[in-house]
Structure 1
């Protein structure tokens, strides 16, 4: 044999792969002929009819460069090599779409015009930004692709014999068994992305991952065992990511999985892209995370080599001879590279500019502002969809029309509790509407807690996802972020403006937004969102084809309040609602499929005879009120019964729950046998907490709640690990732990527990409505105040010592919240410090929950304890600009603590009108936040009503801007000046008008507020109301004599203000009142330019129909046509051009008519008029 006889090149990266590869040679040859400068180690041999050269990278040299060097030397020593294989181990990238497990095989497979290998530049990775992909490989040679297709078909029909091939090798080579045989399946553990292997244990290497990280189901992603008819190991075909740095971070892994659908990570294949066109075959030995599985490396190498041998058996020698030698291809490539160097420099410069343009520090900082929630984790809490379910939506005519439409569209899906709405939403995001190059999918899952029930949080999540996928759109957010900074996170109107403008930008790709469980959004925010959606889709033509579109899908329960809010929209667009409550028959049929599947699983797991299996299935199918939630609870209850039974096959299911509520009763009653009081306390804490608590926080809270005395030093907290073990026993399925946080199983669980009455003792009347809202608030207030007043501050001071500010020290305790320290009582500090005032405020005037003197300890501003809790408390309230120091009375007013205020009033030398650094008083704070009782107490005590200070200037101004009617009336009755001028809004009337607070506007007008008073950013009240589209307020102001053409403020006049924001009805109202159509002034210059620059087609048409001048010159833009063209609003440009053309035609027609009346036109264009008697010369006699 000579070097020209070898046509297959096989490259390995490490010794383990090299050993495995050699074992699958049918015969081995001598390797004496190697080029002088070739540094590779070779094993030569035959597999089937092919002569193969196997090479391995130098010891402990990894990465793309080393692989390239080996490939170059190989083709010099063996010039006739025509096909390449890169065979070895890699890190798996499991996902809901690809169930990749240890020992599986991933084969690089071209798709969508791309090669099977993605090279990425890890060095360019930026937190919260996409990876910088640099290139895709070319497809492998045709001969390999053809063989790959044949092998795939063979495996589909007959399965594979890879394990048998490995066994045959290990029978011959017994010394390889311990390292290369398949490990026990129990060692295949996939940890959740946020669970990181402790670094010090990794370095020590003394313990296995399971010993260090454990097998707690809460830390793992649980996967069903593979069925007998499924391949194991499985073979996956798709994209392999290759770079120069080992991926050891599950969060980083998941980004590439999400963005590029990557199946595997490795470090060599990208180096072969220009040197060695090949197919890459990887056996999975770990999950590309911090948890290494060394015991799988040998088997993974073996199974990859076995697959490579099987593949070569499907490669014909005839097809190999038809491929060009790789050496010839490299010679051509080198010439092309030399010629293309200059072009490469140009491309690199363009990429550098593009990176600076899209990913500069300012834009990255702006992008990070919108990451206010763990929206992905909140989605992932929901279970996966079972095959064959959710068809009641997916195959519904209305859903299909919405999905397939090519215009802006909205679909509202309503359905009863427990029907799988959130499961459907999750599946929609992850599968049916998966992100790809032409589509961006954004989502938010509402939940009835303060971290997930806010419209501002939802909008931030949508914007963050949109800018992650389409970073060029971030320009829509930069001005607002530069103006407001982090405060932008709470400014709903501005967030909506950013999102809607970016989403309708001509450079945007198609966008779909999925909003799940709208019924769990805070009521005021929910109404506001529906109003915004209604306006968006009523302003935009719902059926006109768009170059790109913005669609929303919203799910909720069929609540009357939501239905009434959607009424205006559904009356115009009835197709937007899909009523799941009318699809119960279809939902029941789907649940029946799940019942059958679950019964089969139970029968297999517990070895049930056919008769028991049939009986169980019949019982489940006989239940009338079948929902997914009910079925889940029922099946889990049956599992528990079978687990405890010595003979599951003979076990009789005593009583299946008839409803979800019956299931809840059974679950809690079983847990109550262990410790009823603890169960009740835990439920009180979970329901009462403003956000889901961590296990560490719950351990402390439960310890405080069960402590008999708060007057003395408390032994705070119970052991966290013990609680984590006991919680499933005490509460069963009613609660679950996800990412170390504790949740109720479903929103219906909270509704089951909390009644409208004062609470019923669970011991006497079961568990339904065993809690009351007041009772849980009282419980949480007692826990938080007791904890803060008795906690040993020295523990905060000790951790960590190098931090200076109290807030830094306190925030750092988050690092300790899940430690093994049994006395980790710091864990609850953040929650208690932030939320105790709200809990106390909720039980004002109720039965005493704690002696008030204990609460007042927290108001001692001279105490070191105050500084620690107050710094944590003020952080989330940035929108209120809470100063670093407040007096006790100012803070009590801010919190609405009237009971505390009574005690403070008894203090000597009390300064009722003390002002903070911005001039705000206690009355100001109480008025802004609408604390009516506190406002009345302060006024009765003699607080100065017109003190100036702060963004809102005075108390009346602050109350008016928030629409607090009773507070406004109290202040006016005490002599507040209705016309006081100053600040952002100019006066109280403008503030109320901007917010659309009709009753407050009327009260101010009745008190004699000047309707045309000038000042502030809007200029006057009519401009303020017009800019925000508050039609009723606009009408009130006009009826009171507001000057429709008054000039001033940012917009110049009311018509410009309404036009710029697209408020068609307000525009018409102003025009009907005589608004000057072409009045100049303000930022935009005139109304037509304002509407054109923002793409408001309907308003543009109204203005044109009224005779607006298209060519009128303005300030920021030259004219309306220029403004629309600059912003890319093609439809508006067309409307303006058509209007210009028609106007020109009218002028020409009028001119011709005049000329026709005047006589024929002379060649020089002058009119040759008919001579009249007056033109005749006078004749004398």
Structure 2
């Protein structure tokens, strides 16, 4: 029976039609995982094989789309299928016809780094009007080398007329010709970018009442075969629906298409984004081409995978002890701490050189490390002070020390995004799962614990008294060290910005001083402001630095002021302030 570890290709879709095309593309559909391996709460999965690879197609269970949804799908996918090595996001997008390449409906756009951009760029609204929208900054890292090599081979195959895509598309369409059929070139209509769609309330779709004199004439193609274009994809919070603004913004960075999800993959992992062109990102957009565009994108994904040789799994499963331990591991599995740590690093970014290193010289840390009678080191601090990065740093520093001593390092990261990961029982299960995964022979000693009724019992007052006896490092008492780390973080962020914008030394110094003055020794504030500055011109950077509130308190206050329904907000705060006892998160 297949397990999660057998799946090396991860394929993310956001829309139902994209999922249908992906499923139709698979050579073979696998049975669902047994219930004890299928513990995810937020994703749906389709398992199958394609071009000698085991593929897991992930998509949301509920109708929530966009960047936030995709980020959650990807994070859960990586946690649930840790052996995934090749990552694809496949779906539909709105094309930009006014570019150097001739993009038509049904064509395919593949994310590719160009002119310093990594294939996908984020754009957001700076104001309420669509014309205020602008490119924000880099988003997605390059795919893995093997995937890049396969893309190159697919591109070469097309040049020499050796591509199999048309055959793949025909095979998919035969599975459901009503849904996936090509709409016909006569339905590929491009209007002048300044021509607004004429809406007739009695008609659901079509441009029957749009001015035919505004249709752009184009040379007809010889056949229906889609063409593949490689370049920059823009990712937004919402669909682009204005032809004039589309062209204006696209010309700045030579954007080939617009979509709404790929930016959610930022820092999650290395993904190849494949988009079938379903409309022209203008007011005339409809759903007629959605299905065929999804099929074309899925067929290209199949073409790329055909150039990747079958790769052995990274995780060895053949040892007899591991096989014996498998039932215990399956019973324990709620989350994988090692995968959670990787997800945190991807989410927050790598540690800036020089930061966190003061911790290993702190007297409390050294005393804790040297004294076996001091099992607990407690690091506390306010929001955005860098506690998570310090915890990650400790695991990285301790790993070689623990390995050299022949011992095992175990760790666990709680999550404010998933309350189910924060219970004492879940923490213990995660740690024990990690331990047995590293030392499978230990499974025999706890196997009996999974027989009978599951119970959990502990006494909070006793636990609280014990916690009060151990070493603590209060980040609020380590202002100098934290401030130095924040300064290094600021310099690193400004260096990224300077490289992107080609800023002068004088402008770099101005940004550094502004961030240092407003940060209040808080990493979270610096990260928030630095992201606001990405992709801006110098005048806009100056404006943002002049109006951004100092410290997290100012940022939170501005967020509260942006809430429209303030009357509903007041009683909520009254309950919080006047409650006789602390409220739980659920309350």
What TM-score, normalized by structure 2, do the two folds share?
0.55
Which position in structure 1 is the counterpart of 2:216? 221
**Alpha-carbon RMSD:** 3.1
- 8 Å CA contact 2:268–2:347 kept in 1: the answer is no
Which position in structure 2 is the counterpart of 1:631? none
Deviation at 1:313, TM superposition (A): 0.7
Kindly indicate whether residue 31 of structure 2 is the aligned counterpart of residue 30 of structure 1: yes
Larger radius of gyration: 1
Aligned-partner Cα distance in 2 for 1:346–1:125: 25
Which position in structure 2 is the counterpart of 1:308? 301
- Residue 195 of structure 1: SS of its match in structure 2? coil
- 8 Å CA contact 1:162–1:307 kept in 2: the answer is yes
> Residue 209 of structure 2: which of 209, 212, 219 is its match?
212
Aligned-partner Cα distance in 2 for 1:243–1:24: 28
Kindly indicate whether residue 188 of structure 2 is the aligned counterpart of residue 196 of structure 1: no
Deviation at 1:302, TM superposition (A): 0.8
Counting only pairs closer than 5 Å after superposition, residues 242-281 of structure 1 correspond to structure 2 as: 242-281=235-274
- 8 Å CA contact 1:120–1:243 kept in 2: the answer is yes
- Residue 89 of structure 2: SS of its match in structure 1? strand
Note closer, same or farther for the CA distance 1:336–1:193 as it changes in structure 2 (3 Å cut): closer
Which position in structure 1 is the counterpart of 2:166? 163
Kindly indicate whether residue 342 of structure 2 is the aligned counterpart of residue 332 of structure 1: no
Which position in structure 1 is the counterpart of 2:177? 177
What TM-score, normalized by structure 1, do the two folds share?
0.28
Which position in structure 2 is the counterpart of 1:19? 20
Which position in structure 2 is the counterpart of 1:563? none
Which position in structure 2 is the counterpart of 1:295? 288
- Residue 210 of structure 1: SS of its match in structure 2? coil
CA deviations on 1:1064-1116 (whole Å, 9 max, x unpaired) are xxxxxxxxxxxxxxxxxxxxxxxxxxxxxxxxxxxxxxxxxxxxxxxxxxxxx
Aligned-partner Cα distance in 2 for 1:350–1:290: 33
Deviation at 1:331, TM superposition (A): 4.4
Which position in structure 1 is the counterpart of 2:82? 79
- Residue 291 of structure 2: SS of its match in structure 1? helix
Which position in structure 1 is the counterpart of 2:277? 284
Deviation at 1:297, TM superposition (A): 0.8
Deviation at 1:110, TM superposition (A): 1.6
Aligned-partner Cα distance in 1 for 2:152–2:116: 17
Counting only pairs closer than 5 Å after superposition, residues 669-1068 of structure 1 correspond to structure 2 as: none
Note closer, same or farther for the CA distance 1:22–1:362 as it changes in structure 2 (3 Å cut): closer
Kindly indicate whether residue 353 of structure 2 is the aligned counterpart of residue 358 of structure 1: no
Q: Structure 1 stretches of 5 or more lacking a match? A: 364-1181
Aligned-partner Cα distance in 2 for 1:80–1:120: 32
- 8 Å CA contact 2:108–2:297 kept in 1: the answer is yes
Note closer, same or farther for the CA distance 1:131–1:13 as it changes in structure 2 (3 Å cut): same
Which position in structure 2 is the counterpart of 1:150? 153
Aligned-partner Cα distance in 1 for 2:44–2:245: 35
CA deviations on 1:222-265 (whole Å, 9 max, x unpaired) are 1101247xx83110000111121111111221122110111111
Note closer, same or farther for the CA distance 1:97–1:62 as it changes in structure 2 (3 Å cut): same
Aligned-partner Cα distance in 1 for 2:39–2:531: 41
Kindly indicate whether residue 44 of structure 2 is the aligned counterpart of residue 41 of structure 1: yes
How many residue pairs match? The answer is: 351
Kindly indicate whether residue 122 of structure 2 is the aligned counterpart of residue 119 of structure 1: yes
Note closer, same or farther for the CA distance 1:350–1:205 as it changes in structure 2 (3 Å cut): same
Aligned-partner Cα distance in 2 for 1:261–1:113: 12
Note closer, same or farther for the CA distance 1:362–1:262 as it changes in structure 2 (3 Å cut): closer
- Residue 312 of structure 1: SS of its match in structure 2? helix
- Residue 85 of structure 1: SS of its match in structure 2? strand
Which position in structure 2 is the counterpart of 1:10? 11
- 8 Å CA contact 2:71–2:264 kept in 1: the answer is yes
Note closer, same or farther for the CA distance 1:327–1:5 as it changes in structure 2 (3 Å cut): farther
Note closer, same or farther for the CA distance 1:330–1:145 as it changes in structure 2 (3 Å cut): same
- 8 Å CA contact 1:12–1:18 kept in 2: the answer is yes
Deviation at 1:167, TM superposition (A): 2.0
Aligned-partner Cα distance in 2 for 1:105–1:326: 33
- 8 Å CA contact 1:83–1:320 kept in 2: the answer is no
- Residue 302 of structure 2: SS of its match in structure 1? helix
Deviation at 1:193, TM superposition (A): 0.7
Aligned-partner Cα distance in 2 for 1:349–1:225: 48
Greater RCO structure (CA 8 Å; 6+ sep): 2
Aligned-partner Cα distance in 2 for 1:37–1:211: 46
Note closer, same or farther for the CA distance 1:97–1:9 as it changes in structure 2 (3 Å cut): same
Kindly indicate whether residue 93 of structure 2 is the aligned counterpart of residue 90 of structure 1: yes
CA deviations on 1:698-721 (whole Å, 9 max, x unpaired) are xxxxxxxxxxxxxxxxxxxxxxxx
- 8 Å CA contact 2:141–2:269 kept in 1: the answer is no
Counting only pairs closer than 5 Å after superposition, residues 574-723 of structure 1 correspond to structure 2 as: none
Deviation at 1:343, TM superposition (A): 4.3
Note closer, same or farther for the CA distance 1:31–1:221 as it changes in structure 2 (3 Å cut): same
Aligned-partner Cα distance in 2 for 1:221–1:102: 14
CA deviations on 1:71-117 (whole Å, 9 max, x unpaired) are 11112221211221111111111124021000000111122343111
Deviation at 1:161, TM superposition (A): 3.5
Q: Structure 2 stretches of 5 or more lacking a match? A: 316-337, 351-387, 390-488, 490-520, 545-587
